[in-house]
Structure 1
Amino acid sequence: MPRFRKDPIPVIRTRHVLLSVLLTGSLTACSAASGATGNGGEVTEIRYQGWVGQVTYPELAESLGYLGDLKLKWVGNTISGPQDIQATATGQVDAGGAFNGAIVKLRASGARVKAVVGYYGVDKEAYTGFYVLDGSPVTTPRDLIGKKIGVNTLGAHSEAITKEYLKRGGLTPEEVDKVELVVVPPVNTEQALRQKQIDVASLSGILRDKALSRGGIHPLYTDVDLFGPFTAGSFVLREDFIAENPGTTKKFVDAFARAVEWTQSRPREEVVAKYKEIIAKRGRNEDASAIDFWKSSGVAGKGGVIADREFQTWIDWLEREGDVKPGQVKVSDIYTNEFNPFRPGSTS
């Protein structure tokens, strides 16, 4: 196992707050222009946030030539789905993605965003595991009382999965409140666990597999064990953006969906090679070695087509937990497959 540096990992400690989407500023979209406009008055440039050492579907779509004359403008990186869709809701970017439960919460808070395509999910190859060190005294849900779990953000996938695991383990709401979530940048989470700054680490995708290759850790629980395969997160656009830019919306979602389908239908080695090529060309001084561990998008629907249950599950769950009022959010209002070329009955 390689040596890790001994200086403390920067973390943000906070008490357990269920699915709290931290909105700063107004949920009304900014009035600033979204980007360059064409002759038809629609924007021809999509602003987005990236992820360090990873490739987003808009970036893949651009590399594959699916975007046509539509341009991308990278405005920086994020480590948080809720932050990404918050930035979309406030008009700082034009499109962003997050856990579907976080999208439900954002919509319930008054943000007029709509999910248009699924972009990550859970299956036997692509899942989030919650790992402990070999020999850890934490072996059951009850052992987590008073312990720290490292996650990339609050109010998203890892918090929802953890809350469900604790509930199924028989913990009362008061006991659940004694489980502390610690926000750690994903690239530092494994290190924080090995240095025992946290007791459990939420790890997924290539970062999970890279950590597992070093040994010394094992899963306490996983999302796929709890819920089975499902598309877990979607990309959203603001409703006013869709209304003002129907042609651009169709181009963007069509290209995005085709990029998702490309990863679903191509050999793993081809996808890995393409991702490495994209990271090298964009020149952000990143380490692309983790891409070697990519296995699956985890997206359940072909081309990211969204199913009712992928939102209804979290609407029902949030209503039971009291975080969303009954009927406050309807699944028919929160997403659309209208622009996805792989939707049932599409002739695109």
Structure 2
Amino acid sequence: MSFQIPSFNRKTKILLVQLGSPENPSVSAVRKYLKNFLGDPRVVDINPWIWKFILNFFVLPFRPRNSAKLYSRIWSDGAFPLIKNTETFTESVRSALLEIDKTGFVEVNHAFLLSNPKIKTVYDEWEQDIREGKGATKLIVLPMFPQYSESTVASGVDALAAELAKRVKIPTFELITNFHRTHAFIDNSVLLIEKKIRELKQRNINLDSLIISFHGMQKRRIIEKDDDYYRHCYETFRLISQKVKTLDADCFKMSFQSRFGSEEWITPYTDDVVKNLVDEGNKEIAIYSASFVADCLETLDELGHELAEDTKTWGGRLHPINCLNSDKKWCEDFARFLFIQAEGSAQEKEDLEYRLSVEDYKTMPNLSFEK
């Protein structure tokens, strides 16, 4: 047995975890992706035996063909936007970190739950650094979903736990489960929205409404399982709507997109909100999907294509706002956020986030079952 003298130079490795995309827009690749995604009990949390039957006999034989058509609309230059955006974002954050942290105490990488590289790859690199005496004293894992939910963040935690279960060497590690109230996320979302408003005004388009939309979730998960997701969405909406100064407060609407199955989901539904606004005479509507930091099928096609086309047929115009993606200031601010998480004091970490008042929460709509 050989013994490697350990390095005494500290290094924190930060792992940014995203969901991933199919390998390509073929039916077979989409079927494989959906099988893994929808087969996760954190994503679909009903009786596993019943769901396995439904998934294999009613979902996977039919849904991939339609989904492949949708994925083909956003496939470009041999990759999907989520993959490219995540890679570019990580590279930009890495460069920004080097400006903040010239000593190299903090290193950032990305991994996907359903695409390559996976968590295993990054973990192997961490162990290799240990063997080579390069130092890797702490691991910070950050699922790249602003708001916590069981179906996203907890799924990423499960993937990490499964990898840890196979290993002898376990690092000192930290898990960041949300970042929706951080200055980095809120301030740059506001800048992105205000930039879009200015661009529209230059084209003589004055917005009637701005929708802050979030990925949907079953009400049951909030009411019965006490998932934090709905509260985090409301906090995001409240902070963004308070800080965008170029629109009146009554122009902002919160909604939820992407329903699946027959359960009651959080309302109001995004398509219903858009149609009602158009029917009321609000023809120019912008939409920002605050559940995502990188554009994907849901933002580009479901909202940017399908809902935009529906809005036209209803008599209005929908103006989608891109996700933060690899925006320069967002990458710089997020790099600072990561550096403070790795090297900052408790007070510095606390100062990274906005706080809401008691009065803010009094306007949060209560959820209840309608049926």
Does TM-score exceed 0.5, indicating one fold?
Answer: no
Higher alpha-carbon Rg: 2
Q: Tell me which interval the TM-score lies in, with the shorter structure as reference length.
A: under 0.3
By percentage of residues, which structure has more strand? 1
TM-score where L is the length of structure 2? 0.25
Q: What TM-score do the two structures reach when normalised by structure 1?
A: 0.27
Q: Tell me: higher relative CO, structure 1 or 2? Use CA pairs within 8 A at least 6 residues apart.
A: 1
